[in-house]
Amino acid sequence: MTLPSHVRIVEVGPRDGLQNEKTIIPAATKIALIDRLSRTGLRSIEATSFVSPKWIPQLADAAEVFAGIDRRPGIRYPVLVPNEKGYDRAREVGADEVAVFTAASEAFNQRNINASIDASIERFVPVLERAAADGVQVRGYVSTVLGCPYQGEVPVADVVRVARRLYELGCYEISLGDTIGIGTPAKARAMLHAVAAEVPIEALAVHFHDTRGQALANILACLEEGVAVVDSAVSGTGGCPYANGATGNVASEDVVYMLEGLGITTGIDLDLLIDTGLWLSRQLQRETSSKVARASRPDG
Amino acid sequence: MTLPSHVRIVEVGPRDGLQNEKTIIPAATKIALIDRLSRTGLRSIEATSFVSPKWIPQLADAAEVFAGIDRRPGIRYPVLVPNEKGYDRAREVGADEVAVFTAASEAFNQRNINASIDASIERFVPVLERAAADGVQVRGYVSTVLGCPYQGEVPVADVVRVARRLYELGCYEISLGDTIGIGTPAKARAMLHAVAAEVPIEALAVHFHDTRGQALANILACLEEGVAVVDSAVSGTGGCPYANGATGNVASEDVVYMLEGLGITTGIDLDLLIDTGLWLSRQLQRETSSKVARASRPDG
């Protein structure tokens, strides 16, 4: 196995994780979570999303959260923005990195934003132009890269085309997401391989949901393919509104445990990360989805 | 990735899984479980253990269970035997395959059976001699291959020595077990590689517990190393009395899902296996540990 020597974890719990939790979480809890995460050694923490509160009430407090966190030097705090209005709101509170989001599945885009893939990407163009002018870095998400709840199979060629377009438009990093957690290692690796033929592997990240328990195996396969950026969520928060099964994002603790075991550095203090995840699960009054965290407790 | 084209799953739920469940399970339920598993396409089902009921009350009904199942042609039904007395009991009810069990950790053997590794293996010699004379096949288990709850690190050389000795003594297959679910993929693969230098890879199996969520990634790494036999337990039953965390054996459903996705045949009907696991979880009145099974339910 040839593996990267260092992996950067992009912690998506405060946004992708909490967005899909059923209970409404107070802004103060979100702020405390992000500040705790900032002390673990993480270098990228997705803080919130400036989508319309009409669509995602869970994130209506985006401005309050972002203004309230203690931003530390050397840590990226990207925020999701769906359009120029979101970009404006993010900039008003001082965000200097944003993320844009589309899907590799035509059916998913049609159903979620009533637009084709190409049209959905065109909506980002003004955001990307303004970001470039403002010196704001942009991360791009491509979802449904290994399957779609509406159309089933997603052609790899569509994933490649969307990823390349986002890269050409100026995204410094493209996160490839198995939104419904349906993929298995060889398919994940083949998809990444195809994208890496068109976008430098250094500009790619992988984003797995653990719906069918495959996330760590998929990450391992993608590490073997050379990817060195992995999205995950502390305590395995989240879930997918489009898929059955209670499981959300792969738990950051479990990813870091595997990476450490592989001799790959992350710069993260795993014990602090576990503590943060257990703290969060108490706030959410639900069991942590991190098996490493569960195994760390004296009572199991 | 070079992977085997076919993998044989050794279903250990009825023995390794149920042995470590907290509730006492009626013999009729165990029999029904094994008969259901026999219809899924599985070719190896570990049925029970003829240990002293004094030590493991959960398996005091071994003879009743073994005599009660509907043994199908072409399916192996190994049973664990700790010594000649267990062997006699197993033979009385017609078992034609047995399994013996030791650990690669000196401390684990000392603590559990008050004997050194070598002494523990010598206890099997009469069993293996009689099995050879009777035409009974013997499977060997080596536990704590990636770590021990008492001594911590377990030298790979000890794993190799124990596996080789069991093979020399006539075990047709050696199952290498990460009893406390502490291993990660590169370590699992390196351990397997070292053992495969002394015992043919065709005679090796891997056995992972999912205590820290690493089991599927470890299995993937071992498949890449050439192993083609994998132990797992339907519904992810079990747990380890020596380790924290509620999680037991890796769930057969999740393993088969990954293998199918990798294009590896198992001969197993995954839908039937999922149904069997959900049936079992209802009997045990606990949530299934298989994420694939959870994702298959309409309500998640």
Q: Please tell me if residue A181 touches chain B, with a CB cutoff of 8 Å.
A: yes
Whether residue A245 and residue B291 make contact (CB cut-off 8 A), yes or no, is yes
Distance CA B85, CA B81 (A): 8
pLDDT digits (tens, 9 = 90+) for B180-223: 999 999 999 999 999 999 999 999 999 999 999 999 999 999 99
Best probe of the B interface among A179, A192, A211, A212, by most B CBs < 10 A, is: A212
Which helix (H) or strand (E) covers residue A207, if one does?
Answer: strand A204-208
What's residue B246's pLDDT? Answer: 47
Q: Give the CA-trace dihedral at A20, A21, A24, A26, to 10 degrees.
A: -100
Residue recorded with tokens 């380890």: B240
Q: Scanning every residue of chain A, which has its alpha carbon at the shortest distance from the alpha carbon of B261?
A: A184
Asked whether B42 and B72 are in contact (CB, 8 A), the reply is: no
Q: Which of A114, A23, A27, A129 is nearest to A68 (CA)?
A: A27
Whether residue A217 and residue B212 make contact (CB cut-off 8 A), yes or no, is no
φ, ψ for residue A173 (rounded to 5)? -150, 140
Whether residue B295 and residue A244 make contact (CB cut-off 8 A), yes or no, is yes
Q: Scanning every residue of chain B, which has its alpha carbon at the shortest distance from the alpha carbon of A210?
A: B291
**Tokens at residue A300, please?**
């199991």
Q: Please tell me if residue A214 touches chain B, with a CB cutoff of 8 Å.
A: yes
**Tokens at residue B42, please?**
């599985």
Domain-wise residue ranges, chain A:
8-296
Please name the residues in contact with B40: beta carbons below 8 A apart, sequence gap of 6 or more. Answer: B268, B269, B272, B273, B276
Question: Which amino acid belongs to residue A223?
Answer: L
pTM exceeds 0.90: yes
What's residue B239's pLDDT? Answer: 67
Position B299 pLDDT exceeds 80: no
Distance CA A203, CA A171 (A): 9
Q: Please tell me if residue B258 touches chain A, with a CB cutoff of 8 Å.
A: yes
Asked whether A58 and A24 are in contact (CB, 8 A), the reply is: yes
Q: Please tell me if residue A61 touches chain B, with a CB cutoff of 8 Å.
A: no
φ, ψ for residue B142 (rounded to 5)? -115, 120
Which helix (H) or strand (E) covers residue A126, if one does?
Answer: helix A117-134
Pairing state between β A8-11 and B44-45: unpaired
Q: Scanning every residue of chain B, which has its alpha carbon at the shortest distance from the alpha carbon of A293?
A: B212
Asked whether A178 and A209 are in contact (CB, 8 A), the reply is: yes
* Residues of B with Cβ-Cβ distance to A210 under 8 angstroms: 291
pLDDT digits (tens, 9 = 90+) for A112-170: 888 899 998 998 899 999 999 999 999 999 999 999 999 999 999 999 999 999 999 99
Q: Please tell me if residue B73 touches chain A, with a CB cutoff of 8 Å.
A: no
* Residues of A with Cβ-Cβ distance to B217 under 8 angstroms: 216-217, 219-220, 258
Distance CA B31, CA B13 (A): 12
* Residues of A with Cβ-Cβ distance to B219 under 8 angstroms: 217
First to last CA, chain B: 33
Q: What are the distances in angstroms from CA B234 to CA A151, A181, B33, B72, B294? A: 30, 20, 10, 19, 13
Q: What are the distances in angstroms from CA B53 to CA A209, B48, B59, B240? A: 43, 12, 6, 19
pLDDT-based confidence at residue B286 (cuts at 50, 70, 90): confident
**HEC states along chain B?**
CCCCCECEEEECHHHHHHHCCCCCCCHHHHHHHHHHHHCCCCCEECCEECCCCCCCHHHCCHHHHHHHCCCCCCCECCEECCCHHHHHHHHHCCCCEEEEEEECCHHHHHHHHCCCHHHHHHHHHHHHHHHHHHCCEEEEEEECCCCECCCECCCHHHHHHHHHHHHHCCCCEEEEEECCCCCCHHHHHHHHHHHHCCCCHHHEEEEEECCCCCHHHHHHHHHHCCCCEEEEEHHHCCCCCCCCCCCCECEHHHHHHHHHHCCCECCCCHHHHHHHHHHHHHHHCCCCCCHHHHHHCCCC
Which among B187, B247, B300 has CB closest to A291? B247
Whether residue B299 and residue A217 make contact (CB cut-off 8 A), yes or no, is no
**CATH code for the domain defined by B8-296:** 3.20.20.70
Asked whether A276 and A236 are in contact (CB, 8 A), the reply is: no
Q: Is A222 a catalytic residue?
A: no
Q: Scanning every residue of chain B, which has its alpha carbon at the shortest distance from the alpha carbon of A242?
A: B300
Least confident window among B40-44, B211-215, B238-242, B264-268 = B238-242
pLDDT digits (tens, 9 = 90+) for B245-267: 546 899 999 999 999 999 999 99
Q: Which letter does DSSP use for residue A23 in this model?
A: S
Best probe of the A interface among B206, B209, B214, B288, by most A CBs < 10 A, is: B214
Look over chain A and give the mean of its residue pLDDT values, rounded to a whole number: 93
Helices vs strands, H then E, count in chain A: 12, 9
Distance CA A196, CA A174 (A): 11
Which among A186, A263, A292 has CB closest to B262? A186
Q: Which letter does DSSP use for residue A202 in this model?
A: G
Residue A26 C-alpha from the chain's centroid: 21
pLDDT average, residue stretch A178-191: 96
CB atoms within 10 A of CB A193: 14
